[in-house]
Structure 1
Amino acid sequence: MTTFRLDERLARDSQSILELPLCDVRLSRDSRWPWLILVPRRADVSEIFELSEDDQLQLLREQTMVSVALKGATDAAKINVAAIGNIVRQLHVHVVARFEGDPNWPGPIWGFGAPEPYTDEAFSAMTQTILDALT
Protein backbone atom coordinates (compact mmCIF):
# COMPACT_ATOMS: atom_id res chain seq x y z
CA MET A 1 0.00 0.00 0.00
CA THR A 2 1.30 3.45 -0.94
CA THR A 3 1.42 6.14 1.71
CA PHE A 4 -0.33 9.46 1.08
CA ARG A 5 2.09 12.29 0.33
CA LEU A 6 1.06 15.85 -0.46
CA ASP A 7 2.20 17.13 -3.84
CA GLU A 8 5.08 19.56 -3.38
CA ARG A 9 3.39 22.30 -5.39
CA LEU A 10 0.26 22.12 -3.22
CA ALA A 11 2.49 22.25 -0.14
CA ARG A 12 4.33 25.30 -1.48
CA ASP A 13 1.26 27.22 -2.69
CA SER A 14 -1.07 26.62 0.26
CA GLN A 15 -1.13 25.90 3.98
CA SER A 16 -3.24 23.43 5.90
CA ILE A 17 -5.81 25.07 8.15
CA LEU A 18 -8.03 22.09 9.05
CA GLU A 19 -8.26 18.34 8.67
CA LEU A 20 -11.68 16.91 7.92
CA PRO A 21 -12.40 13.17 7.90
CA LEU A 22 -11.27 12.84 4.24
CA CYS A 23 -9.64 16.08 3.21
CA ASP A 24 -6.88 18.35 4.27
CA VAL A 25 -8.37 21.85 3.93
CA ARG A 26 -5.70 24.25 2.72
CA LEU A 27 -5.77 28.02 2.29
CA SER A 28 -4.02 29.29 -0.83
CA ARG A 29 -1.19 31.68 -0.16
CA ASP A 30 -2.49 33.90 -3.02
CA SER A 31 -4.47 36.69 -1.37
CA ARG A 32 -6.24 37.89 -4.52
CA TRP A 33 -9.14 35.54 -3.81
CA PRO A 34 -10.30 33.69 -0.68
CA TRP A 35 -9.26 30.29 -2.04
CA LEU A 36 -9.46 26.94 -0.31
CA ILE A 37 -8.10 23.65 -1.62
CA LEU A 38 -9.47 20.31 -0.43
CA VAL A 39 -6.99 17.45 -0.76
CA PRO A 40 -8.36 13.96 -0.08
CA ARG A 41 -5.75 12.07 1.93
CA ARG A 42 -5.67 9.10 -0.41
CA ALA A 43 -2.53 7.89 -2.16
CA ASP A 44 -2.22 7.69 -5.93
CA VAL A 45 -5.60 9.26 -6.74
CA SER A 46 -5.92 11.86 -9.48
CA GLU A 47 -9.63 11.67 -10.36
CA ILE A 48 -12.77 11.80 -8.24
CA PHE A 49 -14.03 8.57 -9.82
CA GLU A 50 -10.92 6.79 -8.53
CA LEU A 51 -12.11 7.31 -4.96
CA SER A 52 -14.25 4.65 -3.34
CA GLU A 53 -17.96 5.37 -3.44
CA ASP A 54 -17.91 6.21 0.28
CA ASP A 55 -15.01 8.62 -0.26
CA GLN A 56 -16.80 10.24 -3.20
CA LEU A 57 -19.80 10.93 -0.99
CA GLN A 58 -17.58 12.21 1.81
CA LEU A 59 -15.79 14.52 -0.62
CA LEU A 60 -19.14 15.93 -1.73
CA ARG A 61 -20.16 16.50 1.92
CA GLU A 62 -16.88 18.23 2.75
CA GLN A 63 -16.88 20.28 -0.47
CA THR A 64 -20.41 21.46 0.29
CA MET A 65 -19.60 22.28 3.91
CA VAL A 66 -16.50 24.27 2.93
CA SER A 67 -18.35 26.08 0.12
CA VAL A 68 -21.17 27.14 2.45
CA ALA A 69 -18.66 28.32 5.07
CA LEU A 70 -16.59 30.27 2.53
CA LYS A 71 -19.71 31.93 1.13
CA GLY A 72 -20.83 32.88 4.63
CA ALA A 73 -17.38 34.09 5.67
CA THR A 74 -16.84 36.27 2.62
CA ASP A 75 -20.32 37.16 1.31
CA ALA A 76 -18.96 36.26 -2.15
CA ALA A 77 -21.03 36.82 -5.27
CA LYS A 78 -20.09 33.32 -6.48
CA ILE A 79 -18.29 30.25 -5.18
CA ASN A 80 -16.29 28.48 -7.89
CA VAL A 81 -15.59 24.78 -7.34
CA ALA A 82 -13.25 22.87 -9.64
CA ALA A 83 -11.12 19.74 -9.73
CA ILE A 84 -8.97 20.40 -12.78
CA GLY A 85 -5.57 18.88 -12.00
CA ASN A 86 -3.85 19.33 -15.36
CA ILE A 87 -0.61 20.50 -13.74
CA VAL A 88 -0.89 19.02 -10.24
CA ARG A 89 -2.18 15.50 -10.87
CA GLN A 90 -2.90 14.69 -7.22
CA LEU A 91 -6.65 14.96 -6.67
CA HIS A 92 -7.55 18.31 -5.16
CA VAL A 93 -10.65 20.49 -5.31
CA HIS A 94 -10.49 24.27 -5.51
CA VAL A 95 -13.17 26.27 -3.68
CA VAL A 96 -12.79 29.94 -4.55
CA ALA A 97 -14.81 32.96 -3.46
CA ARG A 98 -15.36 35.37 -6.34
CA PHE A 99 -16.59 38.95 -6.29
CA GLU A 100 -17.72 41.26 -9.05
CA GLY A 101 -14.72 43.47 -9.75
CA ASP A 102 -12.12 41.08 -8.31
CA PRO A 103 -8.96 40.45 -10.34
CA ASN A 104 -10.03 38.94 -13.69
CA TRP A 105 -13.79 38.90 -12.88
CA PRO A 106 -15.66 37.14 -14.43
CA GLY A 107 -12.84 35.18 -16.06
CA PRO A 108 -11.06 32.22 -14.48
CA ILE A 109 -8.40 32.68 -11.82
CA TRP A 110 -5.90 30.25 -13.34
CA GLY A 111 -3.05 31.76 -15.27
CA PHE A 112 -4.07 35.33 -14.49
CA GLY A 113 -1.44 37.73 -13.18
CA ALA A 114 1.03 36.99 -10.45
CA PRO A 115 0.12 35.63 -7.02
CA GLU A 116 -0.02 38.20 -4.24
CA PRO A 117 1.02 36.62 -0.94
CA TYR A 118 -0.82 37.36 2.29
CA THR A 119 0.95 39.13 5.09
CA ASP A 120 1.27 36.84 8.11
CA GLU A 121 -1.42 38.84 9.90
CA ALA A 122 -3.84 38.76 6.96
CA PHE A 123 -3.30 35.00 6.48
CA SER A 124 -4.03 34.40 10.16
CA ALA A 125 -7.12 36.58 10.01
CA MET A 126 -8.48 34.82 6.91
CA THR A 127 -7.78 31.44 8.47
CA GLN A 128 -9.68 32.39 11.61
CA THR A 129 -12.59 33.82 9.61
CA ILE A 130 -12.94 30.58 7.68
CA LEU A 131 -12.56 28.36 10.74
CA ASP A 132 -15.19 30.43 12.57
CA ALA A 133 -17.57 29.95 9.63
CA LEU A 134 -16.97 26.20 9.68
CA THR A 135 -17.97 25.84 13.33
Structure 2
Amino acid sequence: MPQTEITPARGDYLKRLLQLQADGGMACVTTGSLANELNVRDASVTGMLERLAQAGWVEYHPYRGARLTEEGREIARELVRAHGLLMVFLHDALGYTPEAARAEAEHLEHHVSSVFLEHLERWMNSKSGQH
Protein backbone atom coordinates (compact mmCIF):
# COMPACT_ATOMS: atom_id res chain seq x y z
CA MET A 1 0.00 0.00 0.00
CA PRO A 2 1.48 3.42 -0.90
CA GLN A 3 2.42 5.73 1.96
CA THR A 4 -0.31 8.32 2.50
CA GLU A 5 0.34 11.70 4.07
CA ILE A 6 -1.49 12.55 7.27
CA THR A 7 -2.78 15.98 6.31
CA PRO A 8 -4.45 18.23 8.89
CA ALA A 9 -7.86 17.43 7.39
CA ARG A 10 -7.25 13.68 7.48
CA GLY A 11 -5.95 13.95 11.02
CA ASP A 12 -9.02 15.90 12.10
CA TYR A 13 -11.30 13.19 10.71
CA LEU A 14 -9.32 10.48 12.49
CA LYS A 15 -9.43 12.37 15.80
CA ARG A 16 -13.16 12.97 15.49
CA LEU A 17 -13.78 9.31 14.65
CA LEU A 18 -11.80 8.32 17.74
CA GLN A 19 -13.82 10.71 19.88
CA LEU A 20 -17.18 9.61 18.51
CA GLN A 21 -16.34 5.94 18.85
CA ALA A 22 -15.26 6.45 22.46
CA ASP A 23 -18.01 8.87 23.50
CA GLY A 24 -20.89 6.96 22.01
CA GLY A 25 -19.47 3.48 22.18
CA MET A 26 -20.23 3.34 18.47
CA ALA A 27 -18.93 0.41 16.50
CA CYS A 28 -19.47 2.49 13.36
CA VAL A 29 -19.79 6.24 13.11
CA THR A 30 -22.37 7.36 10.57
CA THR A 31 -21.53 9.76 7.78
CA GLY A 32 -24.22 12.12 9.04
CA SER A 33 -22.92 12.26 12.60
CA LEU A 34 -19.39 12.89 11.37
CA ALA A 35 -20.62 15.62 8.99
CA ASN A 36 -22.51 17.23 11.84
CA GLU A 37 -19.48 17.14 14.16
CA LEU A 38 -17.12 18.58 11.55
CA ASN A 39 -19.68 21.02 10.14
CA VAL A 40 -19.28 19.76 6.57
CA ARG A 41 -21.57 18.18 3.99
CA ASP A 42 -22.26 14.43 3.94
CA ALA A 43 -20.70 14.20 0.47
CA SER A 44 -17.44 15.67 1.78
CA VAL A 45 -17.38 13.09 4.57
CA THR A 46 -18.03 10.26 2.12
CA GLY A 47 -15.10 11.34 -0.06
CA MET A 48 -12.75 11.63 2.89
CA LEU A 49 -13.82 8.29 4.37
CA GLU A 50 -13.09 6.64 1.02
CA ARG A 51 -9.59 8.16 1.02
CA LEU A 52 -9.01 7.15 4.64
CA ALA A 53 -10.15 3.61 3.83
CA GLN A 54 -7.72 3.47 0.88
CA ALA A 55 -4.94 4.50 3.26
CA GLY A 56 -5.94 1.66 5.61
CA TRP A 57 -6.92 3.98 8.47
CA VAL A 58 -10.66 3.29 8.53
CA GLU A 59 -13.07 0.55 7.58
CA TYR A 60 -15.81 2.29 5.61
CA HIS A 61 -19.14 0.75 4.67
CA PRO A 62 -21.46 3.03 2.64
CA TYR A 63 -24.81 3.61 4.36
CA ARG A 64 -23.51 1.99 7.57
CA GLY A 65 -20.58 4.19 8.54
CA ALA A 66 -16.93 3.91 9.39
CA ARG A 67 -14.65 2.87 12.21
CA LEU A 68 -10.96 3.25 12.80
CA THR A 69 -8.54 0.45 12.03
CA GLU A 70 -5.80 -0.19 14.57
CA GLU A 71 -3.40 1.94 12.50
CA GLY A 72 -5.97 4.75 12.26
CA ARG A 73 -6.56 4.55 16.00
CA GLU A 74 -2.80 4.86 16.66
CA ILE A 75 -2.55 7.93 14.43
CA ALA A 76 -5.57 9.54 16.09
CA ARG A 77 -4.24 8.84 19.58
CA GLU A 78 -0.85 10.33 18.70
CA LEU A 79 -2.56 13.49 17.40
CA VAL A 80 -4.64 13.74 20.56
CA ARG A 81 -1.47 13.28 22.65
CA ALA A 82 0.35 15.96 20.63
CA HIS A 83 -2.57 18.33 21.04
CA GLY A 84 -2.66 17.83 24.81
CA LEU A 85 1.08 18.25 25.31
CA LEU A 86 1.18 21.33 23.13
CA MET A 87 -1.81 22.91 24.86
CA VAL A 88 -0.25 22.48 28.30
CA PHE A 89 3.12 23.78 27.09
CA LEU A 90 1.63 26.79 25.34
CA HIS A 91 -0.52 27.69 28.32
CA ASP A 92 1.82 26.91 31.21
CA ALA A 93 5.22 27.76 29.72
CA LEU A 94 4.38 30.47 27.21
CA GLY A 95 1.37 32.09 28.85
CA TYR A 96 -1.22 31.53 26.12
CA THR A 97 -4.84 31.82 27.21
CA PRO A 98 -6.63 28.45 27.21
CA GLU A 99 -8.53 29.38 24.03
CA ALA A 100 -5.40 30.58 22.23
CA ALA A 101 -3.47 27.50 23.37
CA ARG A 102 -6.21 25.23 22.03
CA ALA A 103 -6.24 26.97 18.64
CA GLU A 104 -2.45 27.02 18.32
CA ALA A 105 -2.15 23.38 19.42
CA GLU A 106 -4.74 22.43 16.79
CA HIS A 107 -2.43 23.86 14.15
CA LEU A 108 0.87 22.64 15.57
CA GLU A 109 -0.21 19.05 16.30
CA HIS A 110 -0.01 18.30 12.58
CA HIS A 111 3.54 19.57 12.22
CA VAL A 112 5.55 18.15 15.09
CA SER A 113 7.46 14.89 15.08
CA SER A 114 7.18 12.09 17.60
CA VAL A 115 10.79 12.84 18.59
CA PHE A 116 9.84 16.44 19.40
CA LEU A 117 6.87 15.22 21.46
CA GLU A 118 9.09 12.84 23.43
CA HIS A 119 11.50 15.67 24.22
CA LEU A 120 8.64 18.03 25.10
CA GLU A 121 7.08 15.45 27.39
CA ARG A 122 10.42 14.76 29.08
CA TRP A 123 11.03 18.49 29.55
CA MET A 124 7.53 19.03 30.95
CA ASN A 125 7.97 16.12 33.36
CA SER A 126 11.29 17.55 34.56
CA LYS A 127 9.66 20.94 35.16
CA SER A 128 6.74 19.43 37.09
CA GLY A 129 9.21 17.80 39.49
CA GLN A 130 10.96 21.12 40.27
CA HIS A 131 8.65 22.58 42.88
| Structure 1 and Structure 2 fold alike (TM over 0.5) | no
More helix by share: 2
TM normalised by structure 2 equals 0.29
